[in-house]
Amino acid sequence: MRRTRTLAGIGIAAAALLALTACNSGTPSDPGGDADGGDAGEETTWFEVAEDVTLEGSPTFDEMTARDGVVIGVKEDQPGLGYLDVTTGERTGFDIDIARWIAASLGFAEEQIEFKPIASANREQAIVNGDIDYYVGTYSITDKRKEQIDFAGPYFITGQGFLVGADSEITDVEDVSDFNGQTVCSATGSTPIQNIKDNFPEIKTQEYDLYSACVEDLISGKVDAVTTDQAILIGYAAQYPDDVKVVGGLFTEERYGVGFTKGDTALQEHINTLFTDGGDIWQAIFDKNLGSSGIEVEQPAVD
Ligand code: GLU
């Protein structure tokens, strides 16, 4: 069984690379960028869907199979990583394509995927409740979270940074305490807000469910900075280049994992094998979504 999976994985790798390469030639009128040039919402061919997949001992996979579909928890307000274009209904981003890649490797086509937006604070509970099969959305692997759920990966590494107003005199941050006395905004339940609260009591905090609400407050001058993973902040800086800029960063190491039900080691092994044996797929997903972002990272080895 293991051998079949591995071979299927290699097939997926080659096909997906082709599909993603084709995506790059997509025109603006073809935002879905799928290999057939179809529009968003049509049947897409992002990744070759594996056939006859078996995953013995995976309760999550059993549920997906019974339902004939996969429910994936994601972010949808983080450009470049997990983003929903409300006009076209199209979802894009590095995390979204990682999520699609995993789904295809498990035998599920795009039209069998249901994406569910879940905010940072609600991720563990959504997994524990069985509301989603797995979560892919700037989700740092931490020991505390591992008490409730399990992770595959890491598949990406970034670190905590700051976003300030474009006209801010702050151009470089040497220490997080440079923000003492200022109001910094972040998402409830995230590792960056916890870091500020635990270690920098002289920084005032504002919290929202979503980082996009923090960015709105920054642009309107209600807060002095937004703090979270630099990869997320870079996406907002690209979205609002006249209003905000990224400074400093990487005060912590944030290792992104795929979250799922605690104890599902079969699913964990499947996803880790996919990441390890995926050939150029990771790089193709990175290039397509974050290639022009200025972020320079390599695919990390899985734990
Ligand atoms: N990676 C951090 C975390 O998992 C911040 C980003 C987020 O909130 O998704 O808490």
Q: Report whether residue 227 contacts ligand 1, using a CB cutoff of 6 Å.
A: no
Q: How far is the CA of 191 from the centre of ligand 1 (A)?
A: 6
CA-to-CA separations, 24 to 12, 32, 35, 284, in angstroms, rounded: 18, 10, 9, 10
For residue 18, tell me if it sits in a domain.
no
Indicate whether 79 belongs to any domain. Answer: yes
Task: Say if residue 171 is in the same domain as residue 208.
Answer: yes
Model confidence over 142-177: pLDDT tens digits? 999 999 999 999 999 999 999 999 999 887 788 888
Asked, for residue 140, whether it belongs to a domain, the answer is yes
Q: Is the CB of 191 under 6 A from ligand 1?
A: yes
Same domain for 106 and 130, yes or no, is: yes
Number of domains in the chain: 2
Cβ of 229 below 6 Å from ligand 1: yes
Residue 158 Cα: closest atom of ligand 1: 1
Binning pLDDT at 50, 70 and 90, where does residue 23 land? very low
Q: Is the pLDDT of residue 27 over 60?
A: no
Report the chain's mean pLDDT, rounded to a whole number. 87
4: in domain: no
Q: What is the mean pLDDT of residues 253-270?
A: 98
Q: What spacing in Å lies between the alpha carbon of 140 and ligand 1's midpoint?
A: 6
Same domain, 122 and 168: no
Using the 3D structure, point to which of 224, 246, 268 is the last residue of a domain: 246
Is 32 within a domain?
A: no
CATH number at residue 287: 3.40.190.10
In a domain, 50, yes or no: no
d(CA 159, ligand 1 centre) in Å:
10
- Peptide bond preceding 154 in cis form (omega within 30 of 0): yes
5 domain residue, yes or no: no
The CA dihedral of 177, 220, 249, 190, to the nearest 10 degrees, is 90
Same domain, 149 and 166: no
> Using a 6 Å cutoff on CB, does residue 160 contact ligand 1?
no
Instruction: Mark whether 178 and 227 lie in a shared domain.
Output: yes
pLDDT tier, 3 (very low <50, low <70, confident <90, very high otherwise): very low
Q: 136, 227, 228: which to mutate for ligand 1, most atoms within 8 A of CB?
A: 228
In percent, the amount of the chain with pLDDT more than 90 equals 79
Q: For ligand 1, is residue 139 a contact (CB within 6 Å)?
A: yes
CB contact at 8 A, 16 and 48: yes
Examine the domain organization and report whether 166 and 146 are in the same domain.
Answer: no
Task: Please indicate whether residue 47, judged by its CB atom, sits closer than 6 Å to ligand 1.
Answer: no
Q: How far is the CA of 23 from the centre of ligand 1 (A)?
A: 28
Full domain range(s) for residue 210: 160-246
120 Cβ inside 6 Å of ligand 1: yes
Residue 201, pLDDT score:
95
Mutate which of 98, 124, 139, 236 for ligand 1 pocket (most atoms within 8 A of beta carbon): 139
106 shares its domain with 147: yes
Residues 147 and 200 in one domain: no
> What confidence tens digit (pLDDT) does each residue in 197-208 have?
999 999 999 999
Question: Do 110 and 180 fall within a single domain?
Answer: no
Domain membership flag for residue 42:
no
Confirm or reject: Cβ of 186 under 6 Å from ligand 1.
no
Indicate if 185 and 129 belong to the same structural domain. no
For residue 169, the model assigns a pLDDT of: 85
228 close to ligand 1 (CB < 6 Angstrom)? yes
Same domain, 259 and 239: no
Closest to 245 in 3D by CA, of 160, 138, 168: 168
Q: Which of 102, 116, 95, 111 is nearest to 53 (CA)?
A: 102
Q: Map the chain to HEC letters.
A: CHHHHHHHHHHHHHHHHHHHHHHHCCCCCCCCCCCCCCCCCCCCCCCCCCCCCCCCCCHHHHHHHHHCCEEEEECCEECCCEEEECCCCEEECHHHHHHHHHHHHCCCCHHHEEEEECCHHHHHHHHHHCCCCEECCCCECCHHHHCCEEEEEEEEEECEEEEEECCCCCCCCCCHHHHCCCEEEEECCCHHHHHHHHHCCCCEEEEECCHHHHHHHHHCCCCCEEEEEHHHHHHHHHHCCCCEEEECCCCCCEEEEEEEECCCHHHHHHHHHHHHHCCCHHHHHHHHHHCCCCCCCCCCCCC
Do 149 and 84 have their domain in common? yes
